[in-house]
Amino acid sequence: MSSSPSTISPCPTCQGDPHVALTCSACRGAAVYLPSPDGSLMWPSRMDAATFRARHLRIRTHRIFHAVLALSAFACVVSLPVSLAWSGDWTSFASVSFWQAGHVQVMLWWLGWSLACFLIFRVRLFSDQPLPLPTWGRSKQAIDIMETRIRQKSVAPVLDVSLHVHASVWELLERAYDLAKQVERAEVQPIHLFAAALASSAGGVFLTRLGASFETIRPGLAMLIKRGETGTNPVLSHASRELLLQAYLDAREQHRRYVGVMEIFSQTFSVDEELQTMFDAAGYPPRQVERVAEWIRLQELLKEEHERFAMLAALKPSGIMNRTKTSAHTSLVNQLGDDLTLLAREGRLRPLIGRTRELAEVWRLFESGRPAVVLVGEAGVGKTALLEEIARRMVEEDVPSVLFDQRLVSVSIPRILSGGDVGEAMERLLTILNEVAASVI
């Protein structure tokens, strides 16, 4: 359910104390670091009411500025056709002298398109969307290269996890802060993050899937959120910072695009034994809770994987997917076979879930120089599903180099045997083998 634990490294100056870290010049409020293949993970210095107000103000300011830019660009662009329509002189529009005369409307027209280009740049640069995890959408080979470069650096780069969390997580953090302040706690503890996660849309789906109501667990949860020291201005606790960093590693291990609510939910539940006991006493064993959380995360992962696959598939050709061997004509293979890579590009093949070991074994055999791989097993064990996943990985180019720019074709034996005698079937089979041999030379 959670990733393997890593060792938290507190700041040597403030010793990871969340209160002292606010004024620490060494870590600038990060308090703790978590080593990872992507560098040293940290969480930003402050998380209080001023932080959330500043974030809302920044988002609102960007949106207003973008709206003003869009209106200005539209007004400048339409000023020229409106002016021409008002004068009725459309013939001058096609003359070179009209564009060289220095009319104000022409200048505004070009200014409008310049503003439109600047708007596109700003929307992409200052979007509300978080940054994807560095490993998202990358092949295993690309991830290995990235990790090797990071290991070779004398000082590990520092990665701000807050840049990679979904907007729903920021809403969760704000609710957790308000909850901790409401119950007068000195620190925002993991249990406050968990309670805030239950109040999110993902938490509502979880309770529905679990078959529980919030009223059932409210008494026990109310007791847990009052744990800890009292205070008026809560800060993010050491445990909560560690949980957020571990949630990043969990999301990375699960190949998620962002750190989402369910990563924080799962991490909190896995480390809080009193929380597990509370759910168990309410009639929901920990294993059942974990399975429901995993089901929700799987649905989110499938959606992200579909978006990622669609993005990568759009870069592949829509015809016969064999970009490096176009000189080899495979007419009979095309006639009697189904191009699985083309079907995968069109989104007609389902992704494979839970066969990582078998797929890794296939890659190992190809990388060892074997010319072919034979899959043996009873009907229904997943041989076809494994082949379809290989086709999907070929579209993504997340395969050994020997399979780059190649295609996976399923040849139908009934098609070979139909419409002729045994001799014609043998001739078709030999022709197919010759075409395949010619295409891989």
Task: Quickly state the pLDDT bin for 93 (edges 50, 70, 90).
Answer: low
**Local confidence band at 3 (pLDDT 50, 70, 90 cut-offs):** very low
Share of the chain above pLDDT 90, in %: 26
pLDDT classification of 1: cutoffs 50, 70, 90: very low
Residue 359 has pLDDT above 60, yes or no: yes
Q: What is the pLDDT of residues 39-52, one digit of tens each?
A: 889 887 677 778 88
Position of tokens 């079907």? Answer: 343
Task: Spell out the residues 6+ positions from residue 236 whose beta carbon is closer than 8 angstroms to its own.
Answer: 18, 43, 47, 187, 188
Residue written as token pair 């027209």: 109
Indicate the pLDDT class of residue 327, thresholds 50, 70 and 90.
very low
Q: Find, among 161, 135, 138, 168, the residue nearest to 300 by Cα.
A: 168
> Average pLDDT in the 98-110 region?
79
Average pLDDT over residues 1-24: 67
pLDDT above 70: residue 438: yes
SS3 labels along the chain:
CCCCCCCCEECCCCCCCCCHHHHCCCCCCCCEEEEECCEEEECCCCCCHHHHHHHHHHHHHHHHHHHHHHHHHHHHHHHHHHHHHHHCCCHHHHCHHHHHCCCHHHHHHHHHHHHHHHHHHHHHHCCCCCCCCCCCCCCHHHHHHHHHHHHHCCCCCEEEHHHHECHHHHHHHHHHHHHHHHCCECEECHHHHHHHHHCCHHHHHHHHHHCCCHHHHHHHHHHHCCCCCECCCCEECHHHHHHHHHHHHHHHHCCCCCECHHHHHHHHHHHCHHHHHHHHHCCCCHHHHHHHHHHHHHHHHHHHHHHHHHHHHCCCCCCCCCCCCCCCCCHHHHHHEEEHHHHHHCCCCCCCCCCHHHHHHHHHHHHCCCCCCCCCCCCCCCHHHHHHHHHHHHHHCCCCHHHCCCCCEEECHHHHHCCCCHHHHHHHHHHHHHHHHHHCC
Q: What is the pLDDT of residue 4?
A: 44
Round the average pLDDT of the chain to a whole number and report it.
83
In this predicted structure, what is the pLDDT of residue 318? 66
Model confidence at 20: pLDDT above 90 = no
Q: Tell me the pLDDT band of 441, cut-offs 50, 70 and 90.
A: low
- Mean pLDDT score, 136-153: 84
Q: How far apart are CA 7 and CA 160, in angstroms?
A: 17
d(C-alpha 17, C-alpha 31), whole Å: 6
Give the pLDDT confidence score for residue 6 in this predicted structure.
Answer: 58
Task: Please enumerate in sequence order all residues whose Cβ is within 8 A of that of 12, keeping only pairs 6 or more positions apart, or say none.
Answer: 26
Residue 319: per-residue pLDDT: 62
**What's the rounded Cα separation, in Å, for the pair 185 and 227?**
8
Q: Are residues 268 and 242 in contact, defined by beta-carbon separation less than 8 angstroms?
A: no
Q: What is the mean pLDDT of residues 241-268?
A: 92
Report the topology of domain 331-439: Rossmann fold (3.40.50)
pLDDT in tens, 238-247: 889 889 999 9
